[in-house]
Amino acid sequence: MKVVAFNGSPRKGGNTTQLIEKVFKELEKEGIDCELVELSGKKLKGCIACYKCFDAQDKKCAVKNDDINFCIEKMVKADGIILASPTYFADVTAELKALIDRAGFVAKANNEMFRRKVGAAVVAVRRAGSIHTFDSINHFFLISQMVVPGSQYWNMGFGLEKGDVAKDDEGISTMKTLGQNIAWVLKKIEEK
Ligand SMILES: Cc1cc2nc3c(=O)[nH]c(=O)nc-3n(C[C@H](O)[C@H](O)[C@H](O)COP(=O)(O)O)c2cc1C
């Protein structure tokens, strides 16, 4: 079983990455393979509304001159998908939004190709707006017919400078439980 996480922060190794690592630690304890994809430095543009993915139905975006198809391919192969973002003006970063729009449309064009995969949001925030960021990501999972496990709080960690989230004990504990719940759901789905 495999979980892939996409970090929408332009800051590699920052708070969002560190939260993802806490989730991964729990997944790895359960023998689940984990891969982190940092969107930082990747070429990612928004959807151009060409609708060609609905004609081609090849599990790819028709715009092939950037890194979106690299990400979509990893999403298709994974059993679980984590979409993670710092809070930017109370929402996801532009990088993650590009992935959401294009991967989401390609999934619709290809018979709901993310259906019943497990999805989880991870959000870093300095002070406010994280619940909206969390909701934005969950909208993607839910309209994609994915299964969304929760934690004892909404999946967010507080921090401004790189590494500050380590001081947010509740945020770290939320990520730990989230990792355990993702593993539990993945195993139940596999049992079927
Ligand atoms: C352009 C920009 C917009 C931001 N908007 C918000 C915001 O709306 N609310 C907030 O609490 N923090 C905001 N922040 C702070 C980041 O969410 C916070 O520093 C986060 O921990 C960064 O995560 P990272 O280290 O993974 O990049 C913003 C930061 C930037 C650079």
Map out the domains of the chain as residue ranges.
2-191
**28: region left, alpha or beta (phi > 0 left; psi from -120 to 50 alpha):** alpha
The sign of the torsion formed by the CA atoms of 7, 12, 18, 21 equals positive
pLDDT at 23: 99
Q: CB under 8 Å to 55, separation ≥6 — which residues?
A: none
Ligand 1 centroid to residue 122 C-alpha, Å: 13
* Cα–Cα distance, 83 to 106 (Å, whole number): 16
pLDDT of residue 123: 99
Whether the predicted pLDDT of 106 surpasses 90: yes
Q: Which amino acid is at 91?
A: D
pLDDT for residue 188: 96
Identify the residue whose C-alpha is closest to ligand 1 atom 12.
126
Q: What is d(CA 149, CA 184) in angstroms, rounded to the nearest whole number?
A: 9
User: Above 80 in pLDDT, residue 167?
Assistant: yes
* Residue 89: predicted pLDDT: 98
Tell me the pLDDT band of 127, cut-offs 50, 70 and 90. very high
Domain 2-191's class? alpha beta
Per-residue pLDDT, 13:
95
How many Å apart are CA 101 and CA 78, to the nearest integer?
19
Cα separation of 7 and 34, whole Å? 13
Q: Does residue 192 register a pLDDT over 80?
A: no
Q: How many residues are present in the chain? A: 192
Tokens representing 93 are 């970063």
Res. 102 pLDDT band, cuts 50 70 90: very high
- What is the spatial distance between Cα 91 and Cα 85, in angstroms, rounded to a whole number? 8
End-to-end CA distance of the chain: 14
DSSP state of 93: -
In short, whether 132's Cβ falls inside 6 Å of ligand 1 is: no
Ligand 1 within 6 A of 160 CB? Answer: yes
Residue 46: the pLDDT is: 98
Ligand 1: distance of its center to the CA of 126 in Å?
Answer: 6
162 lines ligand 1 (CB under 6 A): yes
Average pLDDT on 50-78 reads 98
pLDDT at 105: 98
Q: Please, what's the b/e burial string for 137-146 (b: 16 or more CB within 10 A of its CB; e: otherwise)? A: bbebbeebeb
Residue nearest to atom 2 of ligand 1 (CA): 88
Ligand 1 atom 15: the closest Cα is on which residue? Answer: 126
Q: What was the pLDDT predicted at 117? A: 98
14 lines ligand 1 (CB under 6 A): yes
Rounded distance from Cα 180 to ligand 1 centre (Å): 27
What integer is the mean pLDDT of 113-129?
98
Q: Check pocket membership of 149 for ligand 1, CB cut-off 6 A.
A: no
pLDDT digits (tens, 9 = 90+) for 3-43: 999 999 999 999 999 999 999 999 999 999 999 999 999 99
- What is the spatial distance between Cα 75 and Cα 98, in angstroms, rounded to a whole number? 14
pTM for the model: 0.98
